[in-house]
């Protein structure tokens, strides 16, 4: 492996400075496993004693301005709920939205056309 190949792999893993790496292992599948020095590891909520939200996989309910009603029913929501949320929170219509997702707990997120 050349130095340029190593630097490329570091960039792919968002490591801009090789001095932050404690160890880099060349794996049998051709990938590189990186271990950052302790002082360069990301800080977590646990380190600060902050309770973290549990991860919920969002369900796509709007794609390119089109409502996916079958997905909306998966999260026990209906079109009326969605339209109310879009108007009250975002002041948007379904047709304005490139991508809309919702979690099972009801957290709605939208991405608009740019």
pLDDT category, 47, cuts 50, 70, 90? confident
**By the 8 A CB rule, do 61 and 84 touch?**
no
Model pLDDT, residue 104 = 93
pTM: 0.61
pLDDT category, 108, cuts 50, 70, 90? very high
d(Cα 28, Cα 31) in Å, to the nearest integer? 7
d(Cα 91, Cα 85) in Å, to the nearest integer? 9
The full length of the chain comes to 114
Model pLDDT, residue 5 = 87
Tokens of 6: 């190593």
Q: Inform me whether the pLDDT recorded for 53 exceeds 90.
A: no
Q: Inform me whether the pLDDT recorded for 88 exceeds 90.
A: yes
Torsion-angle region of residue 48: left (phi > 0), alpha (psi -120 to 50) or beta? alpha
Model pLDDT, residue 1 = 80
- The burial of 62, by beta-carbon neighbours within 10 Å (0-12 exposed, 13-18 middle, 19 or more buried), is given as buried
d(Cα 94, Cα 87) in Å, to the nearest integer? 10
pLDDT digits (tens, 9 = 90+) for 57-86: 999 999 999 999 999 999 999 999 999 999
pLDDT digits (tens, 9 = 90+) for 26-39: 899 988 999 999 99
């Amino acid at each position: 492996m050349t130095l340029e190949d190593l630097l490329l792999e570091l960039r792919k893993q968002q490591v801009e400075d090789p001095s932050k790496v404690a160890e880099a292992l060349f794996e049998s599948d051709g990938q590189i496993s990186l271990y950052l020095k302790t002082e360069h590891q990301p800080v977590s909520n646990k380190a600060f004693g902050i309770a973290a939200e549990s991860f919920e996989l969002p369900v796509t309910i709007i794609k390119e301005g089109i409502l996916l009603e079958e997905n909306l029913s998966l999260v026990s929501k209906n079109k009326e709920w969605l339209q109310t949320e879009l108007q009250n929170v975002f002041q948007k219509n379904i047709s304005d939205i490139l991508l809309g997702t919702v979690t099972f707990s009801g957290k709605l997120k939208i991405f608009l056309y740019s």
